[in-house]
Amino acid sequence: RKEVEQDPGPFNVPEGATVAFNCTYSNSASQSFFWYRQDCRKEPKLLMSVYSSGNEDGRFTAQLNRASQYISLLIRDSKLSDSATYLCVVKRGGYQKVTFGTGTKLQVIP
């Protein structure tokens, strides 16, 4: 089983729709969680950290479920500019071992 798993998609959604992605992780010792966004042929950019209490940034909401070992990202009122690949990132250990998921591709359609 992969340490971090994501549905690769693509998720094709119309503008204005709400879309949610999940990411599961296998190591219960994982400590920090992030969502990154990567546009085609570009470097990943931090979208948001994921806190135990959940966090929201505008149209984006991230949540962590430690019991079930998954994190989620909810995007409301999708924009065309949200089209990208969303990478789930899990960090564990004092070594700051970082593992990237394979990403979920989102395509927002006019």
Q: Residue 25's CB: how many other CB atoms inside 10 A?
A: 23
- Candidates 20-28, 41-49, 62-70, 72-80 — which segment interacts with other proteins by CB under 8 A? 41-49
Give the residue, chosen from 1, 28, 29, 41, that forms a contact with other proteins under the rule CB under 8 A: 41
- Candidates 10-18, 52-60, 64-72, 86-94 — which segment interacts with other proteins by CB under 8 A? 86-94
- The span from the CA of 74 to the CA of 22, in Å, is 9
Please report, as residue ranges, which positions from 47 to 66 form the binding site for other proteins (by CB under 8 A).
49
- The span from the CA of 11 to the CA of 5, in Å, is 16
Beta strand pairing call for 11-14 and 70-75: unpaired
- Binding interface with other proteins (CB under 8 A): 32, 34, 41-46, 49, 87, 89, 91, 95-96, 98-103
